[in-house]
Structures are given as structure tokens and as C-alpha cells.
Structure 1
Amino acid sequence: MRTALSEHDFGMVFAAIRECTGLSQTQLAALLGLSQARVSEVEAGARRLTGVKPVARISTVFAVPAQLLGFHADSAEPAAGNLACEEVDWVHRRDFVTLATAAALGSRLHPELERLADVLPDRLDPVARPRIGAADIDAIEAISDGFRRWDLAHGGGLCRSAALSQLHQVAALDDAVCTPYVRGRLQIATAELASMAAWLAYDIEDHNAARRLWTYALRTAQRAEGNPRSTDLMVVILLDMAHQALHLRRPKDALAFCRLAAATSTGRRYPVSPITAGYIHTVTAWCWATLGEPEPTRRALVDSEAGYADASDGTTPAWAWVVTDAEIAAQQGHSLYLLSLKRREFGEAAAAKLTVAAEGHPAEHERSRAVVLPTLAAAHFRAGDLEAAVQIGQAAVTAVTALSSQRCYARLRDLDTIAARHRFVPEVRDLRADIAASLAG
């Protein structure tokens, strides 16, 4: 290996890594941010690997000392050999997609994966229990379900700390005495609770905490590969990561997460449920819409509808009660709205779908309705219906200010940006003043 590295014979390096780890060419390519074809060509000697970035990524992902790859110890290239940073900005780190890929693949090659529990936010001293049974897992699942219902009704702000506290207590049970069956359920329940805590952090715009929690959840769900719920949960976590990447205006990262979710959905022992398959295509549609690509967006929406249509009582997992007809309409309307930001002609169709969503969300899903309303108002602006835009915009201000969801306030800021184009209309000026007051509060 040292000889191959010194000669930059990456065909030999790739082959040796795959032999030792059991990774496929596709999995190795995903870890390194390359195509499978490129990995194949390098292994076959048909092409050489050139450029600092892919070489530096080999150093980071596989813990190869930077000096063996030709970097000086004080190299200015941050990715080369920079493997053990305790305090890292999880929002701006360049290798977050790679880290998530390694977690999804179950790779032990990324140095941070084995210490994820140590970097969870707001770590507490846990209360350990020596032995657990099925009733304990039932309780953990009920806790996660309770947090999910609270978030749908009120937003994540008021229960995020409580969820983290519960997660630290549950994570401490990793070494508890239990049967193999209970162990698998514990890992899934822990991953679900961590994923819920991540979503609550995301909802209050604590993106660093959300990324750490989702990565921990992904790693924990991957360890439970013998549980039928594992694949479904991993895919949903990856799609939540894509959701956040879109919120952070990083559509290409989001698309990478969607592709990883699609690969994960077909590459494990248990398949995903039809409803999860539909969600993969939904989030993919958001990505293409953000990039202003109508035809790939349309195809993804058609595939999404087909996935949801295949769902039945026998194939729908228990957690999927949140995927209502109103939620599906909101997902479709959001895709059309994102398209309308670059292609105004999609504004009317977006408003129609989002209206169905806003009217269909029940009272106990008020946060879901509040997220939709600012986008619905903005869609009316894009469609040229200023009267409806102002009326719904005022309803959005009222709904958002009643909740503890920073993500809803972010939607209000987006609405204000769209409304500013009509700032000379008196009613629009009044709406913008109300939005400014709510944001200041």
C-alpha cells in the first residue's frame, strides 16, 4: 500500500481498500464523490486520478496519513489529513455528504463515526440500567411518537431540550443486557428518537445540532440491519438531510442525499415501504425544481404519486400516519412553487395544490399548516393574484406567531422577499409591516 501511495497508483489503492472492506465500486465511489465508472477506470489503469481534491478526500475518508499522499504536514489543503477535529462546524464542513454516506454504508473507515455519541449536543450524565426488555422499547417508541405529535401541533422550540435529554438517557442503554431481538428494537428506537430530536433542532434552525443528531441516527439505524424497519428509517433520515440542505440553499447536496437514499432503498436486506419510495421521489422533485428543471421535476412527481398509490394498510409502516393527503398535496405544491421561482407559469398550479394542503391539515397539525401558508401566499404573488396573496399572507403571520418554529419564520422571510416586488401596493406594504413586526418579536 505504501508503495502504491508513493507512486500514486490509485488503481492498486482502490483495489486493496475494496478487498479489505468488502465495498463495491459504487459504494467506494459514493464515499469519494466520484462516479462508479471513474473508479472502474482507475482500477483498470485506463485513467489516472489527478487533482488535489479527490486525493485529499482519500486521506480524509480512509485515514491515510497526508504525508504518504505527498502533502506536507502543514498543507494548506484542509481536507488532507485533517482527521480528528473535536469541534467542527457541521453546517459548513465540506465532507458532510461523505460522512453521511459512510454512515449509510456501515463503513468503519471514517474516523468520526465511532465517536458520534460523544459529540451529541447538550450531553448529560445518563442514568444507566443493567437490563431492559420489550416494555422499555415500547416506552421509548411512545416518547418519540409524543414528540412527533407535539412538533406537528406546536413546532420544535418548546420540546427540543426534552427530546435531547431523553435521547441521552436512551443512548446510555447501548450496553444494557437484553436479548438479540430487544437489541435490534433498541437500536431502531434510539435511531428514531435521535432522528426526531434532529428534526426538532432543525425546526428551530439549530442546523449544527440537527446534522450531528441525524448522522448519529443514521449510524444507529444502520447497525440494526437485521430489523425490517432499518432500511425505511435510514432512507427517511437521508431525506430529512436533503430537506435541510434545500433549506440551506444547497440543492446539489440535497440531490446527493436523495441519490444515496435511493441506493440505500434497494441495496439492503429489507426493502422500503411504498410510501417511503414515494417520498424519495418527492424530495428529488424538490431538488430538480430548485434547480429550475421542469421535466425532471415532473417525472419525479409522477413517480412519487405512483409510490403513494401503491401504499396500503398492509405495506404502510406505523410511523407513516403523518403522511396524509394534505401532506402529499403540500409536497407536490412545494415542488411547483419552487419551479415558479424561475418559471412564473407554475405559480397558479402551486397555489391550487397548496390550498388543498392548507385546508386539509387538521387542527392537531397546526405547525404543518403554518409552514404551508407563507408559501401559498408567495405562490399567489407569483400567479399575479395580489388580493389572495395579501389575505393568505396575513393568515400566515397569525399562524406562525402562535408557534415555536423558527423554520416557519424563515418561510415568512421568504414571503417578504417575494412581496417586496409589489411594495408600492398599499395592502402589500401593510402585509410587509406585519411580517417585519412578527420577525422582530
Structure 2
Amino acid sequence: MERRNFLAATSAALAAGPLLQLVNAAAASAVPAVVRPADVEQIRTAATTLRSWDNLYGGGGGVRDTAIAQLRWAANLLNSRCPAPLRAELFTAVSRLATVVGAAAFDAFAHDDAHRLFTFATSCAEEVDNWPIRAISYNLRSRQATWRGDPDSGLTLAELGLARADRLSPAERSMLHNARARALAKMGRTQQTLAAIGDSDDSFKSLVPTDEGPWMAYYDDAQHHGDTGHALFDLALAGHPPQQAILRLQTAVDSHGDGFARSRTFSRTKLASLRMAVGDPEQALAEGRRALAEVSRLRSLRANHDLGELGRVAHRHRTIPDVHDLREQITSTVTV
């Protein structure tokens, strides 16, 4: 099957499949016969808006339902007639939106949906040779594989994303080195993890925000330290000195703005778990209480999962009354 026919078939399957039946078909907007610049701009705006909602509220609830409706409309545009000058922009915009919807599905533990959407995003980006957007899709595919307990595939996907790294920006390279580091850390490869973090740090040092594409606007000092801190967190739990992990996670917590509430919560929860694990329950309690309050405002099953991990790590200090209370509150929160 030719690639454009594959994409058309895939977009039709996305529109008709169980994933997008979550939204009433009768509510879907009619797809125009001919793609216009305003249609592409609508997809870009939707991707940017939905990503900000996802970061602020988590991927569950209304965020995901709204994202699914928008993606169905956008995916069906691939079957409309598109003027040649708009074709690359259309496929790029649909790829970006697919990664946003996939990320929301990932956060809601709809893993099969997320996998399909990330793969679709890769195909759209590759159709028009957009290497940066392709890199974003591979980054998410890598992170999902690693998160689901398959770091070997996570490493492979991250390295595929780094193919032709000369065509990627410093932020894009740093992002993918972080994905490598997180996969390597889960595999227990300490020195290779540290080397990948070093590669990420080197790329980050050369980052010039004004030279980055709008899709990388999220990748700032807070994001960089949070991502690398997560990789170091896994090493620290395995016995590596925890100081760098604590420092990076604390930097992320202190630097994330309110617009990235979920990312801040991820880093804060990991920081609390690490402090609890290394024998600093008083500091861990302070961060754990804040993390608990933040998670209760999100609809994110990944955030709930991390909070549950904190509860399990805190078990070793269960004789401390405040820790016991925190664990009970965590249990109540993650089972709601």
C-alpha cells in the first residue's frame, strides 16, 4: 500500500474506531472538501490549547474527550483535497495534535490508544519529512514503552528519534537523550545513564529559546531538570548517590510555573519518595503533603501511580504517626 493511502486508511480508522467513538459522532463538525490555511491554523491552535490543558489538569476527564473530537476532525482532513503548498503544514499539524491526544491517553492509562496515536503521529511526520515533529513522536513512544516496563524498546525508540540528530534543535536532542537516560536507568545501566544525561546537559547548554520551534516551548530549565532528575531517581533507588537526583528534582519543583502543574507534581512526588527512601522522612513529609494536595486537583492516573509509589516507599517509616497519616490519605486519594 502506498504511504499516502496508508495514512488515509489510518486516519479513517482513527475516526471510526473505538477510540474516537467516545465522542458522539453527531456532534462532529463536517470536514471540508478542500483544506484551507484556516483549517491548518485551527489544528495548530487546538494542539497548543489542549497541550496546555493537559499540563494544567491532566489527561483525564474533559481534556481527553475534547481532544478526541478535535483529532477526529483533523485526521479526516487528510482525506480532503489539499493544495500542494499546504500539504506539509497539514500533516505536521495533524502529527502534533496526535501526540497531544496520545499524551492525554497515556496519562489516562488508555495505553493501546496512546500507542496507536503516537505511531500515527510518526507516520504523519515522516510523510512530509518533518524531523523535529517526528522526534517528538518518538520521544513519547519511548517514554510510554519505558513506563510500561519495556525499557529495551524505550531505548530503541529514543535512538530512532535521534536519527539524523543534525536536523534536530538542541532542545529536541536534549529531550531524546533524556528518554534514553530514563530507559537506561530502568535497565540498571548506571554509567550509560550518566553519559546520556551528560549528552542531554551538553545539548541543553546550547539551547537558544528564540531559535526553537513553538512545539519545544515547554522545554525549559524546569523540564530539563525534571526529566534528568527522574532518570537519576531510578539510579538512586538502586543505590547510586542521591544528591544529584534530589538537586535536579528540587530545581524542577521550584522552577515549574502553575501552567505545568502536572509536571511539577511528578517531580515533587519523586522528590518526596526519594527523600523517604534515603532516610529523610521529615523533609519527605513536607513535600509529600504538597504532592498529595496537587494530585487531588488533577485527573492524571500517572500522578496517582507516583503517589502510590510514595505510599509504598513510606512504609519503611510507618511507625512515625505523621507518615502513617500521609499513607492513609494517599490510599484514599489513589483509590477514588
Same fold by TM-score greater than 0.5? yes
Q: How many residues align?
A: 325
Alpha-carbon shift at residue 288 of structure 1 (Å): 1.4
One-letter amino acid of the counterpart of residue 78, structure 2 = D
Q: Which of residues 194, 203, 218 is equivalent to 1:307?
A: 203
Alpha-carbon shift at residue 297 of structure 1 (Å): 1.1
Alpha-carbon shift at residue 118 of structure 1 (Å): 4.0
Matched residue, 2:264: 369
Whole-Å separation in 2 of the counterparts to 1:408 and 1:314: 31
Higher RCO structure (Cα 8 Å, ≥6 apart): 2
Q: Which of residues 318, 321, 343 is equivalent to 2:217?
A: 321
What SS is found at the alignment partner of 1:176?
coil
Which ranges in structure 1 are unaligned for 5 or more consecutive residues?
Answer: 1-106
Alpha-carbon shift at residue 240 of structure 1 (Å): 0.4
One-letter amino acid of the counterpart of residue 20, structure 2 = D
CA contact (8 A) 1:235 1:265 kept: no
Alpha-carbon shift at residue 384 of structure 1 (Å): 1.6
Alpha-carbon shift at residue 440 of structure 1 (Å): 2.1
Q: Which of residues 57, 64, 76 is equivalent to 1:154?
A: 57
CA contact (8 A) 2:11 2:78 kept: no
Matched residue, 1:335: 231
Whole-Å separation in 2 of the counterparts to 1:379 and 1:418: 8
What SS is found at the alignment partner of 1:175?
coil
Alpha-carbon shift at residue 279 of structure 1 (Å): 1.2
Whole-Å separation in 1 of the counterparts to 2:161 and 2:82: 31
One-letter amino acid of the counterpart of residue 152, structure 1 = N
Alpha-carbon shift at residue 247 of structure 1 (Å): 1.4
One-letter amino acid of the counterpart of residue 122, structure 1 = L
Matched residue, 2:123: 219
**Could you state the TM-score of these two structures normalised by the residue count of structure 1?**
0.70
Whole-Å separation in 2 of the counterparts to 1:203 and 1:238: 17
Whole-Å separation in 2 of the counterparts to 1:286 and 1:265: 19
One-letter amino acid of the counterpart of residue 331, structure 1 = D
**Residues 422 and 182 of structure 1, relative CA distance in 2, 3 Å threshold:** same
Alpha-carbon shift at residue 133 of structure 1 (Å): 2.1
Q: Which of residues 36, 43, 60 is equivalent to 1:133?
A: 36
Matched residue, 2:177: 281
Matched residue, 2:310: 415
Alpha-carbon shift at residue 414 of structure 1 (Å): 1.4
Whole-Å separation in 2 of the counterparts to 1:319 and 1:179: 24
Alpha-carbon shift at residue 427 of structure 1 (Å): 2.2
Matched residue, 1:55: none
CA contact (8 A) 1:232 1:265 kept: no
One-letter amino acid of the counterpart of residue 387, structure 1 = E
Q: Are residue 353 (structure 1) and residue 248 (structure 2) matched? A: yes
Alpha-carbon shift at residue 311 of structure 1 (Å): 1.8
Whole-Å separation in 1 of the counterparts to 2:275 and 2:80: 55
Alpha-carbon shift at residue 156 of structure 1 (Å): 1.3
Whole-Å separation in 1 of the counterparts to 2:72 and 2:94: 10
Whole-Å separation in 2 of the counterparts to 1:162 and 1:117: 18
Alpha-carbon shift at residue 305 of structure 1 (Å): 1.0
Choose between structure 1 and 2: higher helix proportion: 2
Correspondences of 1:19-418 after superposition (within 5 Å): 115-120=9-14, 121-123=19-21, 124=25, 127-157=30-60, 158-225=62-129, 230-263=130-163, 265=165, 271-313=167-209, 315-343=211-239, 345-418=240-313
Alpha-carbon shift at residue 314 of structure 1 (Å): 5.2
Deviations 1:153-203 (A, max 9, x none): 111112111111111111111132332121110111111111110001111
The root-mean-square deviation of aligned C-alpha atoms, in Å, is 2.0
What SS is found at the alignment partner of 1:346?
coil
Whole-Å separation in 1 of the counterparts to 2:176 and 2:2: 26
Whole-Å separation in 2 of the counterparts to 1:298 and 1:319: 27
Deviations 1:121-166 (A, max 9, x none): 1244662212222222112101110001111111111211111111
CA contact (8 A) 1:126 1:168 kept: no
Most deviating of 396-405 and 167-176: 167-176
Most deviating of 315-324 and 422-431: 422-431
**Could you state the TM-score of these two structures normalised by the residue count of structure 2?**
0.91
**Residues 432 and 112 of structure 1, relative CA distance in 2, 3 Å threshold:** farther
CA contact (8 A) 2:311 2:327 kept: yes
What SS is found at the alignment partner of 1:263?
coil
Matched residue, 1:19: none
Q: Which is higher, the Rg of structure 1 or of structure 2?
A: 1
Whole-Å separation in 2 of the counterparts to 1:308 and 1:349: 17
Whole-Å separation in 1 of the counterparts to 2:319 and 2:9: 55
Alpha-carbon shift at residue 375 of structure 1 (Å): 0.5
Alpha-carbon shift at residue 366 of structure 1 (Å): 1.1
Which ranges in structure 2 are unaligned for 5 or more consecutive residues?
Answer: none
CA contact (8 A) 1:128 1:169 kept: yes
Alpha-carbon shift at residue 382 of structure 1 (Å): 2.5
Whole-Å separation in 2 of the counterparts to 1:297 and 1:317: 27
One-letter amino acid of the counterpart of residue 143, structure 1 = A
Whole-Å separation in 1 of the counterparts to 2:115 and 2:87: 25
